[in-house]
Amino acid sequence: MNGAKLLIASIALHGIACGSACTRGADTPAAVQKLRVRVEATHPHDPEAFTQGLEWAGGQVLESTGVLGRSTVRRVALQTGVVEQMVALPNELFGEGLTRVGRNLIQLSWQNGRAIVWDMTSLVAVAEFKYEGEGWGLCYDGNRLVMSNGSDRLGFRDPKTFEKTGEVAVTLDGVALAALNELECVDGEVYANIWQTDNIARIDPKTGRVTAMIDASGLLSASERAGADVLNGIAHMRERQRFLVTGKYWPKLFEVTFVPVE
């Protein structure tokens, strides 16, 4: 999420800001896959949205945005990028990760220790959870919530109580991988944006081992990049077998598939 110098140092130390050099699979039981994004479709995206969480549900885009005094939860039309419904968070909350659990959405806050539960249809707040530490990314695997806090740890939580039930340390070729940000749970695996990079890690939550690194660089043109911030936001479109990806202040939302690096 935000400026933790320790995390930046960790990224630099382990070379995560690189492209293909991010995977050194020789010293792991199975080599880390090298994947890249292939753009299947492009859609407009609000360039004023500081994207923190992204979901695809019922043919709609649900999004969490950050910045104090400007954080929101919103429903967005995929084809046009039009914000069809939006609710502002209290000014003291910095919006973060977002996930769907049944008929509800759960939205994290960065340093406030508060998670807001929204009715997905009305975007009316129906409950709130408390937690300790920072909130960055959140996803639901059908049984438990998976949460990141900017470190190399993924925490597991009960979706009904938000109580922490465990955690796992994430490693890339045996080395701790920090700066885990926005998350998406797909078929028993966790996809994580790596903050301040154009990389997405695919993680086995049972072991914490990174099984693939996905290079998502080059999605924006040079002129688009000039007004944008970092890659952040990933959502699985199960019926299309694609992913949606975007970033903070990005003018576009991309439908992509992940394919091997040639």
* Confidence class for position 262, pLDDT limits 50, 70, 90: confident
Output the pLDDT for position 198.
96
Q: What is the mean pLDDT of the chain?
A: 91
Output the pLDDT for position 9.
36
Strand 95-101 and strand 125-130: pairing? Answer: unpaired
Structure tokens at 119: 């009715």
What three-state secondary structure class fits 194?
strand
Structure tokens at 165: 């039930």
Output the pLDDT for position 257.
98
The model's pLDDT over 12-71, given as tens digits with 9 standing for 90+, comes to 334 444 443 343 434 445 799 999 999 999 999 999 999 999 999 988 999 999 999 999
Range of weakest confidence among 13-17, 222-226, 243-247: 13-17
Domains along the chain?
5-260 (2.120.10.30)
Output the pLDDT for position 88.
97
Output the pLDDT for position 12.
39
Q: What is the pTM of this model?
A: 0.88
Contacts 24+ apart (CB under 8 A), 106-114: 106/138, 106/140, 106/145, 106/159, 107/53, 107/64, 107/73, 107/138, 108/53, 108/64, 108/135, 108/136, 108/137, 108/138, 108/147, 109/71, 109/135, 110/1, 110/2, 110/66, 110/134, 110/135, 110/136, 111/135
Q: Mean pLDDT across the stretch 171-189?
A: 97
Task: Check pLDDT > 60 for residue 228.
Answer: yes
The model's pLDDT over 75-94, given as tens digits with 9 standing for 90+, comes to 999 999 999 999 999 999 99
Q: Which helix (H) or strand (E) holds 55?
A: strand 51-57
